[in-house]
Amino acid sequence: MKQPVESRQLILDRIHAATPAAAGDASQLADAYAALPRTYIRRSSLSTSARIKLMIHRLREYDAEVVESTPADLPAAITAQLAASGRHLFVAPPGTPNKWMVTSARKITGLKWTIDHGLPIGEIEKAEGVVTAATCGIADSGTIVLHHSATEGRRVLTLLPDYYLCILRASQIVETLPEYFSRCQQPPALATYISGPSATADIEMTRIKGVHGPRILVVIVVRDDK
Amino acid sequence: MSHATPGRVSLDPRFAPPFPEAALIMLRNPQLRKNVGHAIDVIQAKRGKLVVEKTDWQELRSAASAIRFHVLDNLGAYLEQFEARCTAAGGHVHWAADAAQARQIILDLLRQENATEVIKIKTMTSAEIQLNPFLQASGVNVYETDLAEIILQLGDEDPSHIVVPALHINRSQVREIFARTMGLNNLSDDPKELTNAARTYLRQKFLTVPTAISGANFLVAETGTVAVVESEGNGRMCLTLPQTMISLVGIEKVLPRFQDLEVMLQLLARSATGERMNPYTSLWTGVTPGDGPQKFHVVLLDNGRSSILAKEKERQTLKCIRCAACMNACPVYRQTGGHAYGSVYPGPIGAILTPQLMQMKYAQTLPFASSLCGACYEVCPVKINIPEVLLELRSQVVNQERKQAGRVFDLMYLGLRIANLIFATAWGFHAAQRMGRIGLRFFTRKDGWIHSLPSLGAKWTQTRDLRGLPQQTFHQWWATRAKEGK
Amino acid sequence: MRASLFITCYNDTLFPETGRAVVRLLERLGVDLDFHPKQTCCGQMHANTGFRGEAFSQAKRFVRLYQDAETVVIPSSSCVAMIRDQYPGLFAELGNEILRKDFEALLPRVYELSEFLIDKLGVEDVGATFTHRVVYHASCHGVRALHLGERPYKLMAKVRGLDLATLTNVDRCCGFGGTFSVKNAEVSSAMLTVKLQDVLATKAEYCTALDNSCLMHLGGAMHREYAGMKTIHLAQILASTETEATL
């Protein structure tokens, strides 16, 4: 068996032999890339309110629960949702604003917030729900984008608990996927795109929701556009 | 033991029977036909609606095709860029020239971690290199975590589709498999209950097994990022909970830049499952401290892809993003299901990819497993002209046959060679028409139809009649008319 | 308007009545039609079965026969698709520059029948009468290779008395596929059975198409199974008038 190093060169040699039209250098490559045709839709044609409406519609199509809130009412809105959930043990990312947690902790008996400062997996597994912010919402597909910053939490946080409350600001909502990509100043090292609760259609194409990952998704759309 | 597929066909192209033979086995299975047809109809209906809704669908296809061709033209540069970025981010990149090497690299990595168990996200590439049996034989227990793959693994079944691999198995067959292997005697065949059984079965595995294997849908050269597209969440589990992750990826899966995902992701879910976006897409770059596996390896797999790259007409095969839209649209696949193709890559893409990965030494009947209807090309999100490649491969297979002594016994070969002589001149053509008319008279019944023919003709008449040759050909009629002065 | 008729090898041998109908139809529309007596085959069967060298010699013959024709009309969409889609590659790979140039000059002058009627003659109403319920099978080459689109439907809409049935899964392949019907006879038959279910469900008297290849396949099963439906090339419907039925 060849050692890995040898195969690298072997494969690259095969590829180079097979691609005589390859760009000669990085700048030629960049030029060739820039010349690729892109006539697909790259901009939104919707007004802000139509865009937000579409996002909410798509989320509901995926059976996510969606409510709107003003920025001022957000802590109360969070409290209302958590109370309605009937759950008490919540985890939150390390950058979660205190305001989000203080009101609910006060108003809901038995509610316990655990902040993820490197929690062992077993602790996250015990949580009944998680609350995070988001990076972007893509209305066309009802997609929530997480870049796993301090307010969004590491990936496992929004994966293990069965209930996920996502706080999405209206100003974060775009219509099309290309708009999200053009908003990214830099590509994220980590990202998760969520377009509804997990599902499988592997058995007779019957769509069953909630295989792995939160079975309940609630989104609060914060109208910071008004 | 296996109810879903009585009459088993090997999915190893080296041992699989010729397509017509394998197809016949599958055609004798009405349950299979029903299951496959149902699954296809569901996906096609959903896809159809979304394609109409996506008003820039054709523009997206054009962009995707251009991006993929550009990558193939510059594959070396983009792979090296991916390797550099991934390595800078803490990942390790390995290069496997063939299946055996890929298997060994993966086993060596597992041994480094003293791994006796591994959890897997569904990846057809691992089926291509026959990874699971190799690992099992080497003392590593492999646990598939994708629901379809679990059904196949526990039921000792083979995949028949690249996106919905268990589409040939219905709910009562799943119930039977789970009841038997999970010891759940009171399990109903309700898909919800069956899925719950799988969820419970897997939870412990996710939380305890420290090593995982995945494939990838895309690699991003610009950033060294890997993208995995899924629906169930088992991918996210495997990508975030273990300590070590090994991703096996074909060399053709690289994209130039992060931004190119804006094209691919719009096409993939709509084509594969008829959704605007699949539930979960995960992107990660090398290793991120405090989040997910701290040891990450990518195994880049050639296994015949670079030889396809060298061929001008055939290289478009490598544009494939494994969406399975082609097999969902294929009227042949609808009748036979995937196993008839004797490969883990079935359907139209399988008919061109499989023989090429085998360097045209095996699976030579696959390029002929098509009526050339073109439905696949119509739906392919990256515009692979599959019929064009099928024709090219057919020509290569025939050219192989031309060199074989045994060709003189192949009636189809002889027939076509003779036909070419016949078509070379008008007198030869007309003479053959006369001879044919006289010869077929023997088989023509009183009603003017032929009900039964010998030899190759029997292939037609086994299910169809053939109207007897008319007394006068068109050209004879024209000549007579001309003589009579119109 | 002058046109040269390329009848196709299988129409010449098996379906001369389609050729006669094309002649009647086009002459009725004032076309001065001629027929090259030396024509044989376009090479499709060989090209599609992997015998490219053989196909090339037939393609070359076709170009040489018709290089001076004003227009070539062909009542078979698969043969036109062969000429349009595969001849360029054949000549680029196996031919010479002169041959390739002659072909390029000829190509725009080659028409499938419905293309000739709609695009070249500019007619939709060909003066036809066909008082029957008819189901139209959209052959794959016509739909996907030639993009015939609405042409056959426009022509049928103007046929007096024609009751056009709606066919579900209208663009699903009938399973003929040339030599596929023999090399993969069982799969071909399974596809045929499925297609036949949709076709027979329309309860039409006739099944029509622009390709006798598909009709031979469909009609062969209809006859075997005493299905009570007949096949007929669209040319024969279009040639049919009140006084003269062409069946």
Structural domain spans, chain B: 19-306, 408-483
Q: What are phi and psi of B94, to 5 degrees?
A: -115, 150
Report CA dihedral (B261, B264, B268, B271) to the nearest 10 degrees. 160
C137 & C169 share domain: yes
**How many Å lie between the alpha carbon of B283 and the closest alpha carbon of chain C?**
38
Q: Which of C46, C183, C219 sits opposite B420 (nearest CB)?
A: C46
C13 & C112 share domain: yes
**CB-side neighbour CA atoms (13 Å) of B352:** 29
How far apart, in whole angstroms, are the C-alpha atoms of residue B149 and residue B182? 15
Residue B6, pLDDT score: 55
Provide the domain count of chain C: 2
Show which of C93, C121, C149 is a domain's final residue: C121
C11 & C111 share domain: yes
Whether C193 is in a domain gets the answer yes
C6 & C115 share domain: yes
Tens digits of residue pLDDT in B385-441: 999 999 999 999 999 999 998 888 899 999 999 999 999 999 999 999 999 999 999
Q: What is the pTM of this model?
A: 0.95
**CB-side neighbour CA atoms (13 Å) of B478:** 25
Report CA dihedral (B457, B459, B461, B464) to the nearest 10 degrees. -130
How far apart, in whole angstroms, are the C-alpha atoms of residue C72 and residue C35? 10
Whether C104 is in a domain gets the answer yes
Q: Which residue of chain A comes nearest to B152, CA vs CA?
A: A202
Residue B7, pLDDT score: 67
Task: Give me the residues of A, 46-75, that contact B with CB < 8 A.
Answer: 58
> Is there a contact between B453 and B441 (Cβ–Cβ < 8 Å)?
no
Residues 6+ apart with CB under 8 A from A13: none
Average pLDDT over residues C228-234: 97
**How many Å lie between the alpha carbon of B385 and the closest alpha carbon of chain C?**
12
C190 & C105 share domain: no
Whether C244 is in a domain gets the answer no
C147 & C232 share domain: yes
Q: Which residue of chain B comes nearest to C33, CA vs CA?
A: B478
Whether C143 is in a domain gets the answer yes
Whether C31 is in a domain gets the answer yes
Give B-chain residues touching A32 at CB under 8 angstroms: 70, 73-74
Residue A211, pLDDT score: 76
Whether C128 is in a domain gets the answer no
Angle of the B57-73 helix axis to the A26-34 helix axis, nearest 10: 170
Q: Which of C45, C57, C182 sits opposite B460 (nearest CB)?
A: C182
C111 & C211 share domain: no
**How many Å lie between the alpha carbon of C67 and the closest alpha carbon of chain B?**
17
> Is there a contact between C109 and C52 (Cβ–Cβ < 8 Å)?
no
Helix (H, G, I), strand (E, B), or coil: what is residue A127? Answer: coil
**CB-side neighbour CA atoms (13 Å) of B430:** 13
C144 & C54 share domain: no
Residue B486, pLDDT score: 56
Query: B141 - beta bridge partners?
Result: B117
Q: Do B258 and A181 touch (CB under 8 A)?
A: yes
Show which of C97, C121, C145 is a domain's final residue: C121
C96 & C145 share domain: no
Q: Do C50 and B397 touch (CB under 8 A)?
A: yes
C with A: 3 or more CB pairs under 8 Å?
A: no
Tens digits of residue pLDDT in C3-40: 999 999 999 999 999 999 999 999 999 999 999 999 99
Angle of the B147-154 helix axis to the B191-208 helix axis, nearest 10: 90
Residue B191, pLDDT score: 83
Give B-chain residues touching C43 at CB under 8 angstroms: 423
Q: Which CATH number do you get for residue C181?
A: 3.40.50
Residue B125, pLDDT score: 97
> Is there a contact between B165 and B148 (Cβ–Cβ < 8 Å)?
yes
Show which of C121, C156, C190 is a domain's final residue: C121
Q: Which residue of chain A comes nearest to B61, CA vs CA?
A: A40
Residue A2, pLDDT score: 52
C17 & C59 share domain: yes
Which residue range(s) make up the domain with C171?
133-239
Residues 6+ apart with CB under 8 A from C37: B426, B475, B478, B479
Q: What are phi and psi of A94, to 5 degrees?
A: -65, -25
**How many Å lie between the alpha carbon of A160 and the closest alpha carbon of chain B?**
8
Whether C247 is in a domain gets the answer no
Q: Do B306 and A14 touch (CB under 8 A)?
A: yes
CATH architecture of B19-306: 3-Layer(aba) Sandwich (3.40)
C13 & C35 share domain: yes
Chains touching A (3+ CB pairs < 8 Å)? B
Chains touching C (3+ CB pairs < 8 Å)? B
Interface test with A, best of B240, B254, B264, B288 (most A CBs within 10 A): B240
DSSP-based helix, strand, coil % in chain A, nearest 5: 35, 20, 40
Q: Which of A26, A36, A212 sits opposite B234 (nearest CB)?
A: A212
Please check the confidence at residue C247 and state whether its pLDDT lies above 70: no
**How many Å lie between the alpha carbon of C43 and the closest alpha carbon of chain B?**
8
How far apart, in whole angstroms, are the C-alpha atoms of residue B388 and residue B39? 28
Q: What does the pLDDT profile of chain A (226 residues) look like in tens digits?
A: 555 566 999 999 999 999 999 999 999 999 999 999 999 999 989 999 999 999 999 999 988 999 999 999 999 999 999 999 999 999 999 999 999 999 999 999 999 999 999 999 999 999 999 999 999 999 999 999 999 999 999 999 999 999 999 999 999 999 999 999 999 999 999 999 999 877 777 677 677 777 788 989 999 999 998 7
Q: What are phi and psi of B449, to 5 degrees?
A: -115, 150
Q: Which residue of chain B comes nearest to A32, CA vs CA?
A: B70
> Is there a contact between B345 and B124 (Cβ–Cβ < 8 Å)?
yes
C116 & C146 share domain: no
ipTM of the complex: 0.96
pLDDT < 50 stretches in chain B: 1-5
